[in-house]
């Protein structure tokens, strides 16, 4: 495998992955839709096209919003072939059918050896080199080991698992629950109540994930509950900041403007609730979260609903 790592996406998370690979001793080539330079660091080179990236890197890390991933994957697919490994770090699911991003990549590119990143990794920590943990999943051991080799360093540990479906659904669903963590902290909910609420939420997420073909245990691993623990410790993820904005009475564009980064949860949660309803899975935490983000409940009503047994 070529020693250079390719990164697709010049947002905060793509830049963070580029820094992590650079810190692990790899050269990095990065493609971004942004016209301005995404990075300014020796060893990370911004390239103009996918063919240049594909020619120099066998392992490609994709970090773009879920809403554009199909189009980006289609363009990437014109440049890569079956020898490439493509691993995404997107905390979302595609379209109304909640298609895992790995499936989108398989549909739009000739690459079959795909994977996903998850876990409590925080962009600012990866950029600054503070200690962190990530999970990587693939059905192909060579992919997970390639990612570990590409990213692991004295300041970053990479856990591996074959449960690709589990990591993708856990990353998406736990990301949604972190909005609830930010909301609860904002309105002054006690740590015990917040921990109980999020534990309920993780159990709901595990049932949803199992219905999608995931291993329920993955939701109680580095790829799942570790995210919740990091949020409770105050890792200041954008999802947590969105929840805090909701707790302060901001909704829609006003809440997103305060966060300053794109969060998948506002569009994802209603689709997850519909998915659960079709399968007769009771998800009161996710239902309440959907109402909170839609602005159809005030914060007292939200808290009362979350504290109920229903």
Question: Domain limits of the chain?
Answer: 4-162, 165-307
Per residue in 261-286, pLDDT tens? Answer: 788 888 999 999 999 999 999 999 99
Q: Rounded to a whole number, what is the largest CA-CA distance in the chain? A: 56
The two tokens of residue 86 are 């493509």
Token representation of residue 138 = 């693939």
Position of tokens 């697919």?
77
- Please, where are the H alpha helices in the chain? 12-23, 50-56, 66-77, 101-108, 123-128, 141-151, 164-186, 191-211, 225-233, 238-247, 252-259, 265-278, 284-294, 299-307
Q: What is the pLDDT of residue 41?
A: 64
For the 165-307 domain, the top CATH level (class) is mainly alpha
Question: Pick from 197, 203, 195, 193: which is nearest to 224 by CA?
Answer: 203
* CA–CA separation, 271 and 268 (whole Å): 5
What residues form DSSP beta bridges with 135? 118, 159
Residue 222 in tokens: 């580095």
Give CATH for domain 4-162.
3.40.50.720
pLDDT at 193: 85
Tell me, what's the pLDDT at 62? 98
Residues contacting residue 51 through CB under 8 Å, at least 6 positions apart: 79
pLDDT at 278: 96
Q: Give the burial string for 19-51 (b: 16+ CB within 10 Å, else e).
A: bbbbbbebbbbbbbeeeeebbeeeebbbbeebe
Regions of the chain where pLDDT drops below 70: 1-2, 35-42, 235, 309-310
Encode pLDDT of 8-24 as tens digits.
999 889 999 999 999 99
């Amino acid at each position: 495998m070529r020693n250079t790592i390719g990164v697709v996406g010049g947002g905060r998370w793509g830049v963070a992955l580029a820094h992590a690979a650079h810190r692990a001793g790899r050269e990095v080539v990065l493609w971004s839709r942004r016209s301005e330079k995404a990075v300014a660091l020796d060893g990370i080179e911004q390239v103009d096209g996918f063919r240049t990236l594909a020619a120099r890197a066998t392992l490609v890390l994709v970090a773009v919003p879920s809403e554009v991933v199909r189009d980006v994957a289609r363009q990437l697919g014109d440049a890569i072939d079956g020898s490439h490994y493509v691993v995404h770090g997107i905390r979302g699911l595609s379209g109304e059918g909640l298609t895992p991003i790995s499936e989108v990549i398989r549909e739009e590119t000739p690459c079959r050896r795909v994977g996903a990143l998850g876990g409590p990794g925080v962009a600012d920590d990866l950029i600054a080199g503070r200690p962190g943990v990530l999970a990587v999943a693939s059905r192909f051991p060579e992919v997970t080991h390639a990612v570990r080799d590409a990213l692991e360093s004295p300041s970053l540990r990479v856990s591996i698992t074959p449960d690709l479906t589990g990591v993708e659904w856990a990353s998406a669903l736990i990301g949604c629950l972190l909005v609830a963590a930010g909301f609860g902290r904002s309105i002054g909910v006690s740590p015990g109540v917040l921990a109980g609420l999020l534990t309920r939420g993780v159990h709901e997420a595990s049932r949803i994930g199992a219905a999608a073909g995931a291993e329920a245990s993955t939701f109680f691993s580095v790829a799942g509950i570790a995210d919740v623990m990091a949020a409770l410790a105050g890792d200041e993820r954008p999802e947590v900041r969105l929840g805090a904005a909701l707790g302060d009475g901001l909704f829609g564009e006003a809440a997103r403007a305060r966060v300053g980064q794109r969060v998948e949860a506002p569009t994802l949660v209603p689709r997850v609730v519909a998915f659960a309803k079709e399968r007769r899975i009771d998800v009161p935490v996710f239902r309440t979260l959907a109402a909170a983000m839609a602005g159809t409940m005030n914060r007292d009503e939200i808290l009362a609903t979350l504290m109920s047994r229903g």
